[in-house]
Amino acid sequence: MHSLRCPPIIGAVADITLLQGDITEQDVDAVVNAANGSLMGGGGVDGAIHRRGGPAILEECKQIRESRYPDGLPTGNAVATTAGDLPARWVIHTVGPVYAKSEDRSHLLASCHTKSLRIADELGALTVAFPAVSTGVYGYPLELAAPVAIEAVRSASTGVAEVRFVLFDGAAYQAFEEALAG
Ligand code: APR
């Protein structure tokens, strides 16, 4: 039985939803990882995804590094791997910008979202969960990051039907709620 995979209906994301919780628990097609350029794991979201998703994720990250990104994944870019033991099917690893007062890097943060959605389309993922990329270790203020993330998703041309921002705490949830309302 050949499943006929229709091309995604390209347009704006139908639903942007907010949830306070743990991104590793999300039963969506793809979860986005706030990675670093090494793709070798880390703390925060990265640590949680690798811990819960298991070694298969890191194995594929190593293959990607060897075959496509020997110098590391550049900031603003994204790549996909299996989600291993996570409820999701894929992990889309993206590298957010480190916040800098002296330099506007919002275009790189926006790129994390648009490129992750482009990869979701290539995979045929219809539901995608994003964390608040760059707002932890990378120091991006929530009130600056949230509008960039929301606007990048809102203006994306994609077949993804639902983007779910999964916020780890109340402050992040509130920042995204205000950005969504704005
Ligand atoms: N689910 C959802 N959100 C989470 C989770 C989780 N399990 N764990 C942390 N967060 C939130 C943080 O509270 C923060 O708001 O994700 C946001 C991003 O924080 P980080 O994970 O620190 O990511 P980032 O700021 O992009 O820094 C990336 O940190 O972990 C390392 O390897 C990673 O070097 C990279 C850097």
pLDDT (tens digit, 9 = 90+) per residue, 129-161?
999 999 999 999 999 999 999 999 999 999 999
Domain range list for the chain: 3-181
CB 2: neighbour CB atoms within 10 A? 4
Ligand 1 binding pocket (C-beta < 6 A) is: 22-24, 34-36, 42-48, 96, 131-138, 166, 168, 172
Choose which CATH entry (3.30.360.10, 3.40.220.10, 3.90.1150.10, 3.90.320.10) describes domain 3-181.
3.40.220.10
Please count the residues of the chain.
182
- Indicate the angle between helix axes 106-123 and 142-154, nearest 10 degrees: 40
Nearest alpha-carbon partner for 24 in 41, 45, 54, 55 = 45
The mean pLDDT value of the chain amounts to 95
Mind listing the pLDDT tens digit for each residue in 9-28?
778 887 999 999 999 999 99
- Split at pLDDT 50, 70, 90, the class of 1 is very low
Distance 134 CA to ligand 1 centre (A): 7
Tokens of 45: 């979201």
For residue 5, what pLDDT is reported?
Answer: 53
